Amino acid sequence: MIQGKHVTLRGLELEDAPEIALHYNDWEVRRFLNRIAPVSKEDEEEWIRSTWEQRRKGTGYVFGIEVNKSRLLIGSCGLHWMSVTNRSADFGIALYNKAHWNKGYGTEATQLILGYGFNQLNLHRIHLTVFEFNERARHVYEKVGFKHIGRHRQALFRNGRYWDIYVMDILANEFG
C-alpha cells in the first residue's frame, strides 16, 4: 500500500473487475485511453492477472486507486515497460469513475507513484503519452513536473479525425 492524504495505491484484486468494467464502458472515460473497445468483467479479470504477471517479472507495477474516506476504488495507475538498464518506465493513469474527477485525486495518485518510482524503485526517468485533446491530463502532468518533449503527429484516429499524441517525461532530479 502506498498511502497518501486522500488516496491510497493498492494491489488490484479480481473482485475489482466489475467496478472497473462498469466505468470503463463509459465512452466519456474510454475516449482518453488506448483500449477503445468495450470491455467485459472477464476482460478486466484477465487484465488484472496480467498486472500481477508484470509485477512478478519486475517489468511493471500497477495499483488500484482507492479513496481513503470511502474505501471506494476509483481508478488505477501504473509504471510499465520498466527497463533495468535505463532505469526508466512508462506511466499511465485512469480514474474510471468520472464522478471523482477534478477532486485532486489524480494529481495525488500521480505524485505518489512518481515518489515510489524514484525513491523506492530507483528509476531515473518516467515517461508518458497523452492525447492532444486531453487537456485536463496534460495540465495535471505539467503540474507534477512532467515536461513536453515532443509529439507523434496525427498518430491517433478518434471521433472521425486524426490527433497528435504528446510525449512527456520527468527525470528523478526534477521530482520533488
Ligand X SMILES: CC(C)(COP(=O)(O)OP(=O)(O)OC[C@H]1O[C@@H](n2cnc3c(N)ncnc32)[C@H](O)[C@@H]1OP(=O)(O)O)[C@@H](O)C(=O)NCCC(=O)NCCS
Residues near ligand X (CB under 6 A): 29, 32-33, 75, 93-95, 101-107, 130, 134-137, 139-140, 143
Residue 96: active-site member: no
Closest CA to 67 of 30, 104, 33: 104
Q: Does residue 82 contact residue 60 with C-beta atoms inside 8 Å? A: yes
How would you class 66 by CB atoms within 10 Å of its CB: exposed for 0-12, middle for 13-18, buried for 19 or more? buried
In angstroms, give the least distance from the CB of 56 to ligand X.
25
Task: Quote the least distance from Cβ 78 to ligand X, whole Å.
Answer: 12
| 32/175 with CB nearer ligand X | 32
Taking the least distance from each CB to ligand X, the nearer of 82 and 130 is 130
Please identify, using beta-carbon distances, which residue of 84 and 99 lies nearer to ligand X. Answer: 99
Q: How far is the CB of 173 from ligand X (least distance, A)?
A: 23
Catalytic, out of 96, 105, 141, 166: 141
Residue with smaller CB distance to ligand X, 136 or 148: 136
Residues catalogued as catalytic: 141
